[in-house]
Amino acid sequence: MTDEPVTLLARNLIRSFGEGETKTTAVNDVSLELHKRQMSLLMGPSGSGKSTLLAILSGLLHPDAGKVVALGQDIWSMTDAQREDFRRRHCGFIFQGYNLFPALTARQQLEIVLRWGEGKTYREARRKTDEVLSLLGLGKKGHLRPSQLSGGEKQRVAIGRALIKEPEFCFADEPTSALDWAHGEQVIELLSAAAHEQGSTILVVAHDARIVPFADNVIHMEDGCMSDLKPVSDPALLGVSHEAHS
């Protein structure tokens, strides 16, 4: 399917919540591989375990069993401090609620990642931030705070913040669900460019089937279990979704 190296490998992941009668197995024996330079899409009905799986793969939520090997390192056998350091160095996150700092301008949201997270100089941070703001179509909005930006603009800032350090991994949980399709499509194109041009490994949880043609893999979940990886190069799949558009 692809010659790109495996950057993240998960084996036999299990995670339950609750006890006895109310116990829910949100992730039930999931194994998968993600590759460099690919954007994978994780789809499935509400409650099927997508957010739980994404949180386990990205080092945010401890599995009950199984392992996750990212860049050759078993992230759930690290100490909390090691895992936090790994996430800080290698992972970008995008969530539905933007999680922007209310008091900071769009420009400052990006600059602090480089100044404090990456130790860049003021000049380097300024130059890279300008580049990313203009790439995001926010060249003239850098001085605005979140309350002055539209939903789509806020989500683009959140994406800029996740991608500005050119992370090996980017994890996005429903990044388009608060947006109309025109803005949602822009967001997906930015993520896809980060995979194909920067070589990031990207995992996106989304409901909207219009995203499928942009993805290199589609992973389906149902009741905590995964069905097969379906290559999007499958002409039938592409044909269906193109016809649906025209």
Out of ligand ATP, Mg ion, none, which partner does residue 24 contact, by CB within 5 to 8 A per kind?
ligand ATP
| Smaller CB separation from ligand ATP, 56 or 136 | 56
| Cα angle value 192/193/199 (rounded, 5°) | 95
Burial state string for 25-40 with b = 16 or more CB within 10 A and e = fewer than 16: bbbbebebbbbbbbbb
Q: How many CB atoms lie within 10 A of CB 209?
A: 13
List the single partner that 167 binds among ligand ATP, Mg ion, none, CB under 5 to 8 Å by kind.
none
H or E segment to which residue 7 belongs: strand 6-17
Distance in angstroms (rounded) separating the CA atoms of residues 75 and 69:
6
The partner in contact with residue 48, picked from ligand ATP, Mg ion, none with C-beta cut-offs of 5 to 8 angstroms by kind, is: ligand ATP
CB of residue 196 to ligand ATP, shortest distance in Å: 26
From the CB of 48, what's the least distance to ligand ATP, in Å?
4
Partner from ligand ATP, Mg ion, none contacting 49, C-beta within 5 to 8 A by type? ligand ATP
Tell which positions 111-140 bind Mg ion, by CB under 5 A: none
Q: Cα–Cα distance between 224 and 46 in angstroms, integer?
A: 11
CA distance 16 to 120: 41
Q: Considering beta carbons, is residue 31 or 148 the nearer one to ligand ATP?
A: 31
Report the site for Mg ion in 28-67 (rule: CB under 5 A): 51
Identity of the residue, 43 or 136, whose beta carbon is nearer to ligand ATP in the bound complex: 43
Residue 7 binds to Mg ion (criterion: CB under 5 A): no
The option from ligand ATP, Mg ion, none interacting with 26 (CB < 5 to 8 A, set by class) reads: ligand ATP
Q: What is the C-alpha separation between 238 and 201, in angstroms, rounded?
A: 22
Q: From the CB of 207, what's the least distance to Mg ion, in Å?
A: 9
Q: How many CB atoms lie within 10 A of CB 77?
A: 11
Q: How far is the CB of 50 from Mg ion (least distance, A)?
A: 5
- C-alpha 61/C-alpha 59 separation (Å) is 6
Residue closer to ligand ATP, measured from CB, 24 or 108: 24
User: Residue 128: helix, strand or coil by DSSP?
Assistant: helix
CB of 83 to ligand ATP, least distance (A): 19
Closest by Cα among 71, 27, 34 to 50? 27
Residues that bind ligand ATP in the complex, under the rule CB under 6 A: 17-18, 24, 26, 44, 46-52
Look up residue 200 and give its two tokens.
Answer: 């990031």
**Number of residues located near Mg ion, criterion CB under 5 A:** 1
Nearer to Mg ion (CB atom), residue 51 or residue 129: 51
Minimum distance of Mg ion from residue 61's CB (angstroms): 12
Task: Please count the helices (runs of H) and the strands (runs of E) in the chain.
Answer: 7, 11
